[in-house]
């Protein structure tokens, strides 16, 4: 399923889902990140990202602008094309929401990377503020 | 034929490229298909190759080490020094060896004692003493592993010592940032082999059945494994390789298409072909982006791969034009070349020379307005580009560690400079196109009031709008760019290669840098503000839930680790500080920063662990909490900063609760404690990106509770700030503290909690510092343009120059003099500043080490030397007393450190640096300083010897870090920048002075030249004004005198010529009159005789005779009358009617008349301008002159062949130059001097006065007439008349 269609479907379905607004927001974020990782779409992954995103991709963490983060992630997806992605943990603490998952690199069964995502809530809006990729 | 050959070659190359594309694609398909059919063999083949490659690399590593060891060990001086026990010589010899990075060397004597060393210390289990070499792997805990080679040093007596060479294979650092990075040789092998490689150098950890790493002596030192390769992965790799080749062919094809379009455009120079070329140009750029050229060929390859790494700079602006540093530079160059093409097209189409018009047409005004509006849009776009280049980057543009910014920043600056230059050139092109072709002064001005009025109203509206919106620096920048573009039109930048001379390049570099800096500064300001806003949100979490989550993640991973679970059943609650466990399962925590982790494994039911665990009661309470059998993480209650965490997770085995894993986590460096550079480099890059150069303060209830940095010195929040935050959640202010101003952002986070973020504003000298760095980048680009210009000018024949203006000679001489003066001053200045900086650091270190010694001496008893006090005083208390980090060495061994963490993390070596050993122990110095390196961070450490009773160094105190080093290095960079700025200003001043002097000297010479030219053209009326009292003035005076004498001589000559001409004319008149008079006299005499002998019978004969005679007389009288008229015309005094007339019209009329007389084979080529050329002359007289010239031209052409008569006229400054040329037989050389002589004629009829009359008339009008002739070929008669003023 193409990422654009997924995003559209989410946008279409969300209004009719009988959930609280903040849960709908989180659901949209999860779907975006999940789809972005599964399809290797950096733009989709950073849909709900803040203006500055801390990213660590198999090394040091840096603060990137959203535009730069998108291109940096695109570079990562070129070097490590995705096969599958599975969420493993999730935790919400006050205005912080964390999640980790396992990212299977395409063609390399032994190459599994871990993904860490951190959203922060400001004025009721969740924004993706950190994405770490590590072994 | 040659053209045909060229065309064939062109199309052949296109076909060749197409064939290569097809063949490569075909080969790719075949290869992929072949791999699919032979999958197992193919995979095995690749794996085998990869294994061979890795083994080969390992072997090469050993060969290099072996060769180095052989070279060192066979040094006879070294052997001599070793056998003689000359430690100083050994140290000197080893110091001379420049070992590669991650290498170290140690020399042992025959007893196994270390006598010299270089590089980091690597522990060794045993000291080899045999006569053969030995390979092995040395391990330093979980931090480092290295390949070591023991090589014996021998002389005639046998083995006298050992050389131990070590090359690091694996290094682990506590944090990953720009200074510290883990290293594993397997990563290098993976890149080379193209397959992930895992290497094991610990036999215990090495799984079975792997590829072995065999040393050259046969010892198995390790093993490696290759990631399994699937077919799809192999196919993807092979396809990638083929696609790289396809990209190359496609790039060449694009070049061919561009070259084709360029040739067409250059031949046609039309709007259509310009548009096509421009379209092809930019399509080519985007195609290159799509196929990722040249980035795809640089991936993983130094040194150009960082250029295409998005981690440094990457922006989505422009659809990928700025997606990396390298792509940005390439896009800028594309833009520059396109701008040059556009500008040259404008100049070619509408002319490069612009006359100073006194009035513009309304159409021109409107078009210029549109051009300015478009130019404004371009400048705004440039500012967006500059802003994105800064914001979408992780580079530190404001770093002051060195004069020159790092290479990537230089490249970005260069790209911005090229883009700015392109914008100026495009604006110039638009202005030139808008102005259109040159038109003469308009006659009718009455109808232009309305358009000019409208234009004025529009200008007024724009000004009002700008003022309303707030006239700030942006508008000045826009106006400056528009002005620069307009000026570029008038000075014809881009049309001549002369602008690529050193003066031109220097001038353009300065202008572009000065124009670009405000835009860059705005981008830097924007980035800083975004950082400050983000920092305010992130600061003062205290308890960081993301770290807590990472600790929980660590516990969750650890409790499912089978190795750890095994521990529970092998021991009785042994404390585990297994960093390997942490390395495998604490990766998320490591990515958050550098944290100390203590892990402990406890059996279930063990409520009170061993004494090693502090606060066991607290732990017991924690474990009771953990009885809920869930993983719990919470802030450690005893941590003052609230940034330490503790957690507990239950461990299960076979479905039963088996025990606990307990974790304590604390940051290695608290950001607010990171007051020295050495500690700051332990912070993660992400943290530094967020907080570097910022001071932060957290206020609760108006009181400063916590701060980071030095700028928040007041403990109470300013009441004005508090009041302002009632109305807004966040405010920006400029605060003043002492003599510095700070930009401060205050954020209200609720419950009276205010966070302030402060950064020093950019002072005036800082602007100069950053501008100078931008100029340096511009000069780098300028240097490349200059070299390119040299090549182009040489290729086009401009170099060596056939003619050099005096002004240029002077300017070049002054520039060369300035450069020659500036370079040594600069070199000396840099050395002085660097030496002063080094001395300042050394002085600082020495003073503080002396303070330490004084503190020790104060602690020592009266009868004991200072070093004895070390037995009672800890290094920590010493460090606290002097406010510095201290390392203590006993002999050469590190025994104590106030920063033990750095020692534990192997960031501080346990042995004294060899340079310090040489200075203190061998050379007898009390103090020395040694450059050190921590990762890629360079610093200076000071070493001070504490002497024993015998005056020998017993202990060495070291100050490993210098809080002021950053400030001193910044001062050094700033001083160098100012030095560079002063030298640059000096050069500019010299150039300006040279320009003024050259202009002052060359102007009188130019005037003299014009005067001489006028004299050569026979004009003596121009007298030069004397404006100086020097030799030049004397020269001018001499010239004026000479001109006067020449004019007088000419007047006399003319008078003589006139008299001669009159005499000649009189002789001619006499001769001409005599001719008809003779037959008249004879006729009359004959008539008289006939009359005298007349008879009646001769009446008829007499009548005939009378008739003939009278006819002859009448004819001769007519001839006399004609001659008299001709001479009257020639000698006629000027009584012409002079009026303002259009010469073009007169010439056209004359040509029309003469065209009627010409036959059909004679072609009249009229090359007359469309507009009038107004002169003051007699219309009839002028027309007659041109009729005369045309008549002569017609008659000069033979009747037997066709010819062309060309009639042309053009404006030449303040004169009109007209010419009548023919393609006749030309004028013979012997006749040329008489052509204007009266009565000279080569024709059978006429008196030969036409040209003489013409000359006289033209000269009377202050004009000149002349001719040029070729035999055969034709003749050109030209007339030069002054234009009517």
- DSSP class per residue in B945-977: EEE-TTSSEEEEEEE---TTHHHHHHHHHHHHH
Q: Please, what CATH class does the domain formed by B829-973 belong to? A: alpha beta
Number of Cβ atoms within 10 Å of the Cβ of B349 = 15
Cα torsion angle, B1022, B1025, B1031, B1032, sign? negative
- Residue environment code for B156-182, b if the CB has 16+ CB neighbours within 10 A, otherwise e: eeeebbbbbbbbbbbbbbbbbbbbbee
Residue B530 contacts A, CB cutoff 8 Å: yes
CB contact under 8 A, B546 and A98: yes
* Secondary structure of residue B899 in the 3-state scheme: coil
Q: Where are the domains of chain B?
A: 40-229, 545-673, 693-761, 829-973, 1031-1126, 1136-1282
CB contact under 8 A, B227 and A110: yes
Tell me, what's the pLDDT at B608? 39
Beta strands in B209-281 (DSSP E): 211-214, 220-226
Helix axes B407-435, B362-391, angle to 10 degrees: 170
Q: B1183-1208, pLDDT tens digit by residue?
A: 989 998 998 898 887 655 568 899 99
Of A60, A111, A135, the CB nearest to B685: A60
Is B547 within 8 Å of B592 (Cβ atoms)? Answer: yes
Of A51, A57, A61, the CB nearest to B684: A61
CB contact under 8 A, A60 and B314: no
Residue B612 contacts A, CB cutoff 8 Å: no
Q: Is the pLDDT of residue B1236 over 70?
A: yes
Nearest CA in chain A to B174: A60
Q: Please, what CATH class does the domain formed by B40-229 belong to? A: alpha beta
Q: Is the pLDDT of residue B895 over 90?
A: yes
**Nearest chain A Cα distance for residue B323, angstroms:** 7
Residue A16 contacts B, CB cutoff 8 Å: no
Which has the closest alpha carbon to B962: B1105, B844, B1097?
B844
Least confident of B272-276, B439-443, B509-513, B890-894: B439-443
- Mutation target vs A (from B314, B531, B536; most A CBs, 10 A cutoff): B314
Distance CA B671, CA B664 (A): 19
**Percentages helix, strand, coil for chain B, rounded to the nearest 5?**
55, 15, 25
Which has the closest alpha carbon to B423: B472, B484, B473?
B484
Which has the closest alpha carbon to B117: B102, B105, B129?
B105
HEC states along B291-314?
A: CCCCHHHCCCCCCCHHHHCCCCEC
- Mutation target vs B (from A46, A51, A56; most B CBs, 10 A cutoff): A56
Distance CA B944, CA B1061 (A): 110
- Reply yes or no on domain B693-761 having CATH 3.40.1840: yes
Residue B232 contacts A, CB cutoff 8 Å: yes
CB contact under 8 A, B530 and A109: no
Least confident of A95-104, B158-167, B609-618: B609-618
CB contact under 8 A, B685 and A110: no
Q: Does B430 or B980 have the greater pLDDT score?
A: B430
Number of Cβ atoms within 10 Å of the Cβ of B700 = 15
Least confident of B136-145, B564-573, B1225-1234: B564-573
Tell me, what's the pLDDT at A17? 45
Residue A124 contacts B, CB cutoff 8 Å: no
Residue B685 contacts A, CB cutoff 8 Å: yes
**Nearest chain A Cα distance for residue B612, angstroms:** 32
Distance CA B763, CA B835 (A): 27
Kind and range of the H or E run holding B725: helix B719-727
Output DSSP code: residue B1027: -
Tell me, what's the pLDDT at A16? 46
Cβ neighbours of residue B4 closer than 8 Å, sequence gap 6 or more: none
Kind and range of the H or E run holding B361: none
**Nearest chain A Cα distance for residue B317, angstroms:** 8
Q: What are phi and psi of B676, to 5 degrees?
A: -115, 155
Least confident of B641-645, B1121-1125, B1271-1275: B641-645
Architecture, CATH, for domain B1136-1282 = 2-Layer Sandwich (3.30)
Nearest CA in chain B to A117: B546
Task: Read off the tokens for B1148.
Answer: 């056209």
Instruction: Please count the CA atoms within 13 angstroms of the CA of B357 that sit on its side-chain side.
Output: 17
Q: B654-700, pLDDT tens digit by residue?
A: 777 777 788 888 877 666 555 566 666 777 776 777 777 788 888 88
Residue A1 contacts B, CB cutoff 8 Å: no
Distance CA B685, CA A54 (A): 10
Of A50, A54, A59, the CB nearest to B176: A59
Tell me, what's the pLDDT at B794? 85
Q: Please state the separation of Cα A47 from the chain's center in Å.
A: 8
CB contact under 8 A, A91 and B590: no
* Secondary structure of residue B581 in the 3-state scheme: helix
Tell me, what's the pLDDT at B911? 93
Cβ neighbours of residue A4 closer than 8 Å, sequence gap 6 or more: none
Is B957 within 8 Å of B850 (Cβ atoms)? Answer: no
**Nearest chain B Cα distance for residue A95, angstroms:** 9
Q: B1091-1128, pLDDT tens digit by residue?
A: 877 766 677 888 888 888 788 788 778 877 777 777 76
Q: B919-933, pLDDT tens digit by residue?
A: 999 999 999 999 888
User: Is-same-fold flag (B40-229; B829-973)?
Assistant: yes
Beta strands in B672-724 (DSSP E): 695-700, 703-708
CB contact under 8 A, B545 and A93: yes
- Mutation target vs B (from A75, A88, A99; most B CBs, 10 A cutoff): A75
Cβ neighbours of residue B152 closer than 8 Å, sequence gap 6 or more: B73, B130, B131, B132, B133, B159, B161, B162, B163
- Mutation target vs A (from B289, B546, B692; most A CBs, 10 A cutoff): B546
Tell me, what's the pLDDT at A35? 92
Residue A15 contacts B, CB cutoff 8 Å: no
Is B607 within 8 Å of B625 (Cβ atoms)? Answer: no
Tell me, what's the pLDDT at B604? 67
Tell me, what's the pLDDT at B436? 79
CB contact under 8 A, B587 and A67: no
Distance CA B684, CA B677 (A): 13
Per-residue CA distances from A76 to A55, A129, B237, B388, B760 (Å): 11, 18, 16, 21, 36
Q: What are phi and psi of B499, to 5 degrees?
A: -70, -10
Output DSSP code: residue B920: I
CB contact under 8 A, A62 and B392: no
Please list every residue in chain B whose beta carbon sits closer than 8 Å to the beta carbon of residue A134.
Answer: 587-588, 590-591
Output DSSP code: residue B413: H
DSSP states of B72-138:
HHT-HHHHHHHHHT-HHHHHHHHHH--PPTTEEEEEEETTS-EEEEESS----SS---SSS-EEEEE
Distance CA B952, CA B1011 (A): 89
**Nearest chain B Cα distance for residue A103, angstroms:** 14
Which of residues 365 through 394 in chain B touch A, CB cutoff 8 A?
388, 391-394
HEC states along B597-615?
A: EEEEEEECCCCCCCCCCCC
Of A64, A70, A120, the CB nearest to B394: A64
Residue B588 contacts A, CB cutoff 8 Å: yes
Q: Is the pLDDT of residue B91 over 80?
A: yes
CB contact under 8 A, B314 and A68: yes
Tell me, what's the pLDDT at B573? 45
Q: B313-358, pLDDT tens digit by residue?
A: 999 999 999 999 999 999 999 999 999 999 988 888 887 656 545 4
Instruction: Please count the CA atoms within 13 angstroms of the CA of B1086 that sit on its side-chain side.
Output: 18
Distance CA B108, CA B166 (A): 14
Distance CA B1171, CA B1142 (A): 9
**pTM recorded for the entire structure:** 0.75
Q: What are phi and psi of B557, to 5 degrees?
A: -70, -40
Please list every residue in chain B whose beta carbon sits closer than 8 Å to the beta carbon of residue A106.
Answer: 232-233
Of A61, A71, A106, the CB nearest to B323: A71
Q: Which fold has domain A3-134?
A: Nuclear Transport Factor 2; Chain: A, (3.10.450)
Which of residues 297 through 316 in chain B touch A, CB cutoff 8 A?
309-311, 313-316
Q: Where are the domains of chain A?
A: 3-134
- Residue environment code for B312-340, b if the CB has 16+ CB neighbours within 10 A, otherwise e: bbbbbbbebbbbbbbbbbbbbbbbbebbb
pLDDT band of B572, cuts 50, 70, 90: very low
Is B512 within 8 Å of B421 (Cβ atoms)? Answer: yes
Q: Does B150 or B87 have the greater pLDDT score?
A: B150
**Nearest chain A Cα distance for residue B626, angstroms:** 19
Please list every residue in chain A whose beta carbon sits closer than 8 Å to the beta carbon of residue B587.
Answer: 114, 134-135
Q: Is the pLDDT of residue B579 over 70?
A: no
Q: Does B388 or A2 have the greater pLDDT score?
A: B388
Please list every residue in chain B whose beta carbon sits closer than 8 Å to the beta carbon of residue A130.
Answer: 546
Mean pLDDT is highest, among B243-257, B781-795, B817-831, for B243-257
Task: Read off the tokens for B1126.
Answer: 């001709």
Q: Is the pLDDT of residue B628 over 60?
A: no
């Amino acid at each position: 399923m193409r990422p654009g269609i997924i995003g559209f479907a989410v946008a279409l379905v969300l209004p009719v889902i009988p959930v609280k607004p903040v849960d709908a927001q989180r659901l949209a974020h999860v779907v975006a990140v999940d789809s972005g990782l599964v399809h290797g779409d950096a733009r989709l992954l950073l849909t709900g990202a803040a203006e500055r995103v801390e990213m660590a991709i198999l090394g040091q963490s840096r603060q990137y602008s959203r535009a730069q983060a998108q291109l940096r992630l695109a570079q990562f997806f070129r070097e490590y094309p995705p096969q599958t992605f599975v969420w493993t943990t999730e935790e919400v603490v006050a205005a912080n929401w964390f999640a980790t998952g396992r990212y299977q690199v395409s063609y390399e069964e032994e190459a599994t990377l871990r993904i860490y995502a951190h959203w922060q809530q400001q004025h009721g809006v969740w924004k993706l503020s950190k994405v770490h990729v590590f072994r | 034929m040659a053209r045909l050959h060229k065309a064939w070659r062109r199309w052949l190359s296109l076909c060749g490229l197409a064939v290569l594309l097809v063949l490569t694609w075909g080969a790719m398909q075949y290869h992929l298909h072949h791999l699919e059919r032979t999958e197992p063999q193919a995979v095995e083949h690749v794996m085998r190759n990869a294994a061979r490659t890795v083994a080969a690399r390992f072997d090469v590593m050993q060969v290099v080490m072996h060769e180095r060891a052989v070279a060192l060990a066979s040094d006879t001086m070294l052997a001599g020094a070793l056998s003689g026990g000359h430690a100083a010589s050994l140290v000197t010899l080893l110091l001379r060896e420049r070992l590669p990075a991650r290498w170290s060397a140690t020399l042992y004597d025959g007893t196994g004692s270390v006598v010299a060393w270089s590089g980091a210390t690597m522990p060794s289990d045993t000291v080899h003493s045999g006569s053969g070499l030995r390979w092995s792997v040395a391990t330093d805990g979980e931090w480092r592993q290295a390949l070591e080679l023991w090589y014996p040093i021998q002389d005639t007596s046998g083995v006298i010592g050992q050389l131990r060479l070590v090359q690091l294979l694996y290094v682990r650092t506590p944090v990953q940032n720009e200074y510290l990075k883990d290293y594993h040789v397997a990563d290098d092998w993976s890149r080379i082999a193209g397959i992930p490689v895992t290497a094991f150098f610990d036999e215990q950890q090495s799984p079975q059945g792997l590829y072995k790493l065999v040393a050259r002596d046969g010892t198995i030192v390790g093993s490696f494994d290759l990631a399994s390769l699937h077919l799809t992965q192999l196919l993807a790799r092979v396809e990638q390789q083929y696609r790289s080749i396809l990209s190359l062919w496609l790039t060449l094809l694009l070049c061919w298409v561009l070259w084709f379009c360029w040739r067409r455009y250059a031949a046609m120079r039309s709007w259509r072909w310009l548009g096509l070329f421009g379209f092809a140009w930019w399509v080519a750029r985007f195609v290159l982006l799509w196929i990722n050229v040249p980035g795809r060929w640089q991936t993983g390859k130094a040194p150009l791969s960082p250029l295409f790494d998005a981690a440094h700079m990457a922006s989505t602006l422009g659809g990928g034009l700025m997606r990396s540093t390298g792509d940005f530079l390439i896009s800028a160059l594309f833009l520059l070349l396109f701008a040059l093409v556009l500008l040259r097209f404008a100049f070619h189409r509408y002319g490069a020379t612009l006359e100073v018009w006194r009035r513009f047409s309304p159409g021109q005004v409107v078009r210029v307005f549109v051009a300015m509006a478009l130019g404004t849009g371009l400048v705004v776009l440039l500012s967006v580009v500059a802003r994105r280049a800064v914001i979408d980057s992780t580079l530190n543009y404001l770093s002051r560690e060195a004069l020159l910014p790092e290479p990537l920043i230089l490249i970005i600056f260069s790209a911005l400079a090229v883009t700015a230059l392109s914008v100026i050139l495009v604006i110039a092109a638009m202005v030139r196109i808008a102005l259109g072709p040159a038109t003469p002064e308009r006659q009718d001005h009455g109808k232009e009031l309305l358009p000019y009025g409208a234009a004025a109203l529009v200008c007024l509206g724009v000004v009002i709008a700008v003022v309303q919106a707030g006239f700030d620096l942006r508008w000045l920048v826009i106006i400056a760019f528009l002005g620069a573009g307009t000026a570029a039109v008038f000075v014809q930048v881009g049309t001549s290669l002369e602008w690529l001379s050193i003066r031109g390049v220097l001038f353009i570099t300065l202008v572009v840098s000065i124009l670009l800096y405000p835009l860059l500064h705005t981008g830097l300001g924007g980035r800083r503000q975004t950082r400050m806003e983000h920092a305010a949100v992130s600061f003062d979490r205290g308890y960081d839930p993301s770290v807590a989550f990472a600790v929980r993640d660590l516990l969750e991973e650890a409790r499912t680790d089978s190795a750890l679970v095994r521990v529970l059943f092998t021991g009785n609650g042994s404390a585990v500080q297994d960093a390997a466990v942490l390395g495998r399962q604490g990766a998320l925590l490591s990515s958050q920063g550098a944290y100390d982790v203590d892990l402990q494994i406890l059996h279930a039911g063990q409520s009170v662990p061993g004494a090693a665990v502090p606060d066991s009661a607290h732990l017991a309470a924690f474990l009771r909490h953990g009885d809920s059998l869930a993983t719990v993480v919470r802030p450690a209650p005893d941590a003052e900063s609230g940034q330490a965490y503790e957690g507990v997770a239950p461990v299960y085995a076979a479905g039963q609760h088996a025990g606990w894993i307990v974790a304590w986590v604390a940051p290695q460096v608290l950001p607010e404690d990171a007051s020295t550079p050495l500690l700051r480099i332990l912070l993660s890059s992400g943290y530094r990106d967020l907080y570097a150069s910022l001071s932060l303060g957290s206020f609760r209830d108006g009181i400063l509770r916590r701060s980071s940095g030095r700028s928040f010195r007041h403990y109470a929040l300013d009441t004005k700030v508090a009041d302002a935050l009632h109305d807004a959640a966040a405010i920006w202010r400029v605060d003043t503290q002492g003599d510095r101003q700070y930009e401060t952002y205050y954020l209200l986070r609720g419950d009276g909690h205010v966070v302030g973020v402060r950064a020093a504003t950019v002072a005036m000298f800082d602007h100069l510092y950053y501008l100078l760095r931008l100029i340096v980048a511009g000069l780098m680009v300028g240097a490349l343009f200059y070299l390119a210009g040299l090549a182009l000018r040489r290729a086009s024949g401009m170099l060596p120059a056939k003619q050099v203006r005096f002004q240029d000679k002077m300017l070049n001489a002054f520039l060369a003099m300035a450069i020659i003066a500036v370079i040594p001053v600069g070199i000396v200045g840099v050395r002085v500043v660097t030496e002063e900086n080094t001395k300042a650091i050394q002085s600082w270190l020495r003073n503080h080490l002396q303070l330490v010694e004084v503190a020790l001496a104060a602690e020592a008893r009266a009868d004991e030397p200072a070093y004895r006090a070390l037995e009672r005083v800890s290094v920590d208390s010493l460090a606290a007393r002097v406010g510095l980090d201290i390392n203590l060495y006993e002999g050469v061994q590190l025994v104590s450190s106030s920063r033990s963490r750095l020692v534990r993390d192997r960031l501080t070596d346990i042995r004294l640096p060899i340079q310090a050993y040489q200075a203190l122990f061998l050379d007898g110095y009390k103090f020395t300083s040694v450059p050190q390196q921590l990762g890629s961070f360079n610093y200076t450490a000071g070493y001070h010897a504490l002497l024993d009773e015998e005056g020998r160094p017993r202990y060495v105190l070291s100050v490993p870090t210098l809080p002021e080093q950053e400030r001193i290095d910044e001062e050094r960079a700033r001083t160098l920048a100012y030095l560079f700025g002063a030298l640059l200003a000096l050069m500019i001043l010299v150039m300006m002075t040279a320009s003024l002097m050259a202009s002052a000297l060359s102007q009188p010479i130019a005037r003299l030249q014009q005067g001489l030219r006028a004299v050569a053209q026979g004009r003596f009326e121009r007298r030069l004004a004397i404006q100086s009292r020097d030799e030049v003035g004397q020269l001018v005076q001499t010239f004026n005198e000479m001109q006067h004498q020449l004019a007088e001589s000419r007047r006399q000559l003319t008078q003589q010529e006139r008299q001669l001409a009159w005499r000649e004319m009189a002789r001619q008149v006499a001769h001409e009159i005599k001719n008809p008079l003779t037959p008249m006299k004879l006729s009359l005499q004959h008539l008289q005789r006939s009359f005298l002998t007349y008879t009646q019978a001769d009446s008829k004969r007499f009548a005939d005779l009378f008739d003939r005679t009278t006819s002859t007389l009448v004819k001769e009288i007519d001839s006399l009358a004609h001659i008299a008229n001709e001479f009257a015309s020639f000698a006629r005094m000027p009584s012409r009617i002079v009026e303002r007339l259009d010469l073009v019209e007169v010439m056209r009329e004359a040509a029309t008349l003469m065209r009627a007389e010409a036959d059909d084979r004679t072609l009249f080529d009229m090359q007359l301008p469309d507009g009038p050329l107004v002169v003051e002359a007699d219309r009839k007289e002028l027309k007659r002159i041109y009729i005369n010239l045309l008549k002569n031209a017609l008659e000069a052409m033979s009747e037997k062949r066709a010819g062309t008569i060309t009639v042309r006229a053009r404006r030449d400054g303040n004169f009109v130059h007209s010419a009548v040329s023919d393609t006749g037989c030309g004028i013979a050389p012997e006749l040329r001097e008489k052509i204007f002589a009266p009565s000279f004629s080569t024709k059978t009829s006429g008196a030969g006065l036409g040209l003489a009359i013409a000359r006289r008339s033209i000269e009377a009008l202050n004009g000149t007439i002349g001719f040029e002739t070729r035999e055969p070929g034709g003749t050109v008669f030209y007339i030069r008349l002054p234009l009517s003023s």
